[in-house]
Amino acid sequence: MTDPFDLLGVARRFSLDRAALEQRHRDLSRTLHPDRYVQAPPGERRMALDRAVAVNEAFRALRDPLTRAEALLTAHGLSVGDADRPSQALLLEVMDLREALDEGRRTPAKVTALLEQVRARTKSEENLLAAVFDGETPPDAAALARARDALVRLKYFRRFEDEADDALDS
């Protein structure tokens, strides 16, 4: 897949202006969306469809901080996959959170408090990612390794947030 930052023409950084990103996505959609090619010959229609799909995928990747961090690591040549092992500390932390969620499941206030706690953790990981990727100089190997660990933690926190949200719904 083409690098999403290149495709959307935005700086390869972790922090980005969401409104400007959305604006860019709208501008490219106006140009490439299949609705603009209904009257076009089939070959051109297919070509536009391929590009519109790529633009939407790139937008999706950059819109969410988690996938944006993945894209940044990929752009720096680090493979990111399910193979990334969580640390013992992370596993313990998430296990504790899960237990607390199970116990508090019936009490929305408790679930909300847990969510707040995890969101704060998420925020600090995101600050770490911004520090790695948005500096004056490109990140070195050690910084990239830190970023990858932060990403693994983000993934676990995200999963927990989803579960907690579901618990609030039910």
Partner 1 sequence: MALFQIFDPTARPTPIGIDLGTTHSLVAYTVDGRPECVLDCDLNPLLPSVVHYLQHGGVMVGTEGKGKAALHPRETLVSVKRFMGRGADDPETRRLGPYDFAMPEPGQSNTVRFKVHGRTVTPVEVSAEILRALRTQAEGKLRTLGGAVITVPAYFDEAQRQATKDAAKLAGVEVLRLLNEPTAAALAYGLDKGRTRGTFAVYDLGGGTFDVTILSLDDGVFQVRSTGGDAQLGGDDMDRLLAEWVFGHLEIDSAQAAPGLVRAVLDAARTAKHDLTDRPDTVIAVDVDGVTFERSIRRTEFEDIVRTVIARTTPAVKRALRDAGLRPDEIDGVILVGGSTRVPAVREHVQSLFGQEPLSDIDPDQVVAFGAAIQANLLAGDGAKDDALILDVIPLSLGLETMGGVAEKILPRNTTIPAGRAQQFTTYADGQTGFEVHVVQGERELAADNRSLAKFTLRGIPLMPAGAAKLEVTFRVDADGMLTVTARELNTGIEQHIEVTPSFGLTGDDVERMLLESYEHAESDLAVRQLRERITDAERVIAATEAALRVDGDLLDEDERAELDGALKALREAIAAQDGKKVHLRTEGLDRATHPLAERRMDRAVQHAMRGRAVQEIEDTVRDRPEHPHLAASYAKDMESEKETR
Residues that bind partner 1 (CB under 8 A): 9-11, 13, 15-18, 20-24, 26-44, 47-49, 51-54, 56-57, 59-60, 63-66, 119, 122-123, 126-127, 130-131, 134-135, 161, 165, 169
- In terms of CB distance, is 88 or 170 closer to partner 1? 170
- In terms of CB distance, is 53 or 91 closer to partner 1? 53
**69-75 contacts at long range (C-beta below 8 A, 24 or more positions apart):** 69/14, 69/129, 69/147, 69/150, 69/151, 69/154, 70/151, 71/3, 71/4, 71/5, 72/12, 72/14, 72/129, 72/133, 72/147, 73/144, 73/147, 73/148, 73/151, 74/3, 75/3, 75/5, 75/12
Structure tokens at 16: 């980005």
- In terms of CB distance, is 52 or 144 closer to partner 1? 52
| Residue 4 CB, nearest approach to partner 1 (Å) | 13
| Residue 161 CB, nearest approach to partner 1 (Å) | 8
| Residue 33 CB, nearest approach to partner 1 (Å) | 6
| Residue 88 CB, nearest approach to partner 1 (Å) | 26
- In terms of CB distance, is 28 or 144 closer to partner 1? 28
Q: How many CB atoms lie within 10 A of CB 44?
A: 11
